[in-house]
Structure 1
Amino acid sequence: MSIIGKELATIAFCWLLERPDGVALGFTSHDRDLAIEGLLYRAAPGMLPSSISTSDGFDVDSLDVEGSLTSDAITAEDLAAGRWDGAALTIFMADWQDPGGSTIAVARGELGGVSIRGKAFEAELRGPTSLLEVPVVEQTSPECRASLGDKRCRVDMAGRVRVTRIAAIVGEAVIDVESAAPGNAYGYGHLRWLTGANSGLESPMLRSDGTRLTLREPPHLAAAAGDLVEISEGCDRSLATCSARFGNAANFRGEPHLPGLDLLTRYPGG
């Protein structure tokens, strides 16, 4: 029997939050914790969804979720560091008398903008129809629109990703690592923190000079020598770099020789 087909309803709302780094948390509106499919959904009276409005059209479905900041679940530090950016959120109904039984999906999507007010946070849930807001046709650009190593770029990243440790902290956004490729191989690349206070976060790199890496901005939390990091080579998206360094001009996804709007303002003899 469906959980809404009973004479006396025993329904509890449940929230499943899954961060991009693999951490999953469950919350429920019930006054006791519920175990559903091997995950403990904690009683969270401070977690409140707004009214949920869905339709069979192409309007973007969205709702707001408010919750309390707690020391062992969702903290202000994690929100500010971006650990919850893009987290997948699933809201469903379950029978608190039989939490292992059937459930009814209510909404799903990704967390959008997150704001903090005092000891509470508010996040927007963007549903699957938000993908309809993405431009269908790309605009032309002199730089490559692909990302290094993706299915359009096709550069083999094997050997271009390295796991190393921080040897020294030189400045707020400058670090030395134990091993790295020579030159500016990591300019416009990414550094992923594997251990330490920033574990699970990523930092874009601005440039590199051998084992010295300059980040685009300081890490959110203090880094320390000995932290394990993964560094990936980058690309400045220019045709010259694509051809000379990667030998990949055939897959360049840009139009470097396309005339710009200044062509309309030129005049004979100018």
Structure 2
Amino acid sequence: MTHAETLHAHLDGGLGTVARAWAVTRRDGTVYGFTDHDRDLSFEGITFRADTGLSARALQQATGLSVDNTEAMGALTDSAIREEDIAAGRFDGAEVVSWLVNWADVSGRRVMFRGHIGELRRGNGAFHAELRGLTDLLSRPLGRVYQKPCSAVLGDKGCGFDVTRPGYFHEGPVTSVKETRSFHFADLSEFEPGWFQRGRLVVLSGAAAGLSGAIKRDELASDGSRRIDLWEPLRAVPQPGDQVRLIAGCDKRFETCRLKFNNVVNYQGFPDIPEEDWVFVHATQAKTTSGGSRR
């Protein structure tokens, strides 16, 4: 029998020794397991801990394409979910799977919910996480935008450019950090100023490891160091000496794709598309309308 059939057979017996269990997988691959049972449970290669104080409201499910949703609540503890991790955004968009499981025999279980974390609030030593079902993804607009700038992200499948190629990234320690959005580097002379503008900064070590941000500005500072500013501050505090990776920037223009990256074959924009004003141009009054020369 399948796991679900085993659970149903157990429930048909009239004695239900069931509990709920949740697995939370962050985008960096870290997995957390929780259960509302009074002892730990283990299955699917995950240990579901009972000492986290996690609870959840009743799951609201609907037929059709309506979005299933629920909410999970729990205490913030150093051994489970830490407040600084939530503040840093490490749980944003994390995948969530919920089971109904026979705690006396975990082979009897059934997935009741699969989705991701939406809005996440914290305060007074606890957190409240909105859980959104898989049908929430169907509400996102899809399709291709026809525009002059490239619609791909540098290094993604559409772009196809390898951002780990020599000359297009830098890894090294940061010498100073201001307001978690302005980074200074001792020597980036091999890269011309502006090379990393519109690129990405990724923190590789320290308290902010795994966090990243889009680069707004890349310029020489008054003290001769290289200054990299982000559009938004990181949600954790890097320290001087932390290792950082800088990835070259792309302004989405056809000329940049051709001259800076030599990747014009994968350009995802339409550089020859007419401007918006072209739509409002009146038809010509010339007698010759064949498209040939007027001479």
TM-score class, shorter-chain normalisation, is 0.7 to 0.9
Deviates more, 1:185-194 or 1:159-168: 159-168
Cα shift readout 1:74-131 (whole Å, capped 9, x = no counterpart): 23322121110111111012221233x2421111111112123433322222222222
1:265 CA displacement: 4.5
Structure 1 residues 121, 146: closer, same or farther in 2, change over 3 A? Answer: same
Equivalent of residue 6 in structure 2, options 2, 11, 18: 2
The aligned residue for residue 274 of structure 2 is: 259
| Pair 1:167 & 2:175 matched | yes
Q: Which moved more, 1:180-189 or 1:148-157?
A: 180-189
Compute the displacement of 1:35 (Å): 2.8
Distance 1:19 1:45, change over 3 A: closer
**SS where residue 277 of structure 2 aligns?**
helix
In structure 2, runs of 5+ residues without a counterpart are 221-225, 285-295
Alignment partner, residue 288 of structure 2: none
Tell me the distance in 1 between the aligned counterparts of 2:17 and 2:187. Answer: 58
How do 1:171-186 residues align onto structure 2 when only pairs under 5 Å count? 172-177=180-185, 180=188, 181-183=190-192, 184-186=194-196
What's 2:88 paired with? 81
Deviating 4+ runs (over 6 angstroms): none
In structure 2, C-alpha distance between the alignment counterparts of 1:91 and 1:171, rounded to whole Å: 38
Residue 201 of structure 2: aligned partner: 191
Q: CA RMSD in A?
A: 2.6
Judge which range, 141-150 or 202-211, deviates more: 202-211
Query: Could you tell me which residue of structure 2 aligns to residue 139 of structure 1?
Result: 145
Cα separation, partners in 2 of 1:201 and 1:176, compared to 1, 3 Å: same
Aligned partner (choices 101, 107, 112) of residue 94 of structure 1: 101
Q: Secondary structure at the match of 1:132?
A: helix
- With structure 2 as the length reference, what TM-score do the two structures score? 0.80
2:112 aligned partner:
106
Q: How does 1:142-153 map to 2 (within 5 A)?
A: 142-153=148-159
Partner in structure 2 of residue 70 of structure 1 = 77
Partner of 2:291: none
Aligned pair partner of 1:13 in 9, 20, 28? 20
Larger radius of gyration: 2
Supply the AA of the counterpart residue of 1:154.
Answer: G
- Please state whether the residue corresponding to 2:196 is helix, strand or coil: coil
Cα distance in 1 between the residues matched to 2:196 and 2:108? 49
Comparing 226-235 with 246-255, greater Cα deviation is found at 246-255
The letter of the residue matching 2:199 is G
Contact 1:31 1:45 (8 Å CA) reproduced: no
1:157 is aligned with what amino acid? V
Q: 1:49–1:171: structure 2 CA closer, same or farther, 3 Å change rule?
A: closer
Displacement, 1:145? 0.8
2:234 counterpart of 1:219: yes
Gaps of at least 5 residues in structure 1 are none
Q: Structure 1: which amino acid aligns with 2:256?
A: T
Q: CA deviation at 1:56?
A: 4.7
Q: Quick one: distance in 1 between partners of 2:59 and 2:203?
A: 37
Distance 1:220 1:136 in 2: 29
Following TM superposition, by how much is the alpha carbon of 1:260 offset from its aligned partner in structure 2, in angstroms? 4.2
Contact kept, 8 Å, 2:72 with 2:131, in 1: the verdict is yes
**Structure 1 residues 268 and 4, CA gap change in structure 2 (3 angstroms):** closer
**1:129 matched to 2:129:** no
Q: CA contact under 8 A between 2:55 and 2:74: conserved in structure 1?
A: yes
Query: Structure 1 counterpart of 2:259, which letter?
Result: A
- Preserved CA contact (<8 Å) 1:164 1:179: no
Q: CA deviation at 1:28?
A: 0.1
> How does 1:202-241 map onto structure 2 within 5 Å?
202-209=212-219, 211-241=226-256
Identity of aligned residues (%): 33
Whether the 8 Å contact between 1:85 and 1:111 is mirrored in structure 2 is yes
d(CA) in 1 for partners of 2:87, 2:282:
53
| Whole-Å separation in 1 of the counterparts to 2:126 and 2:120 | 11
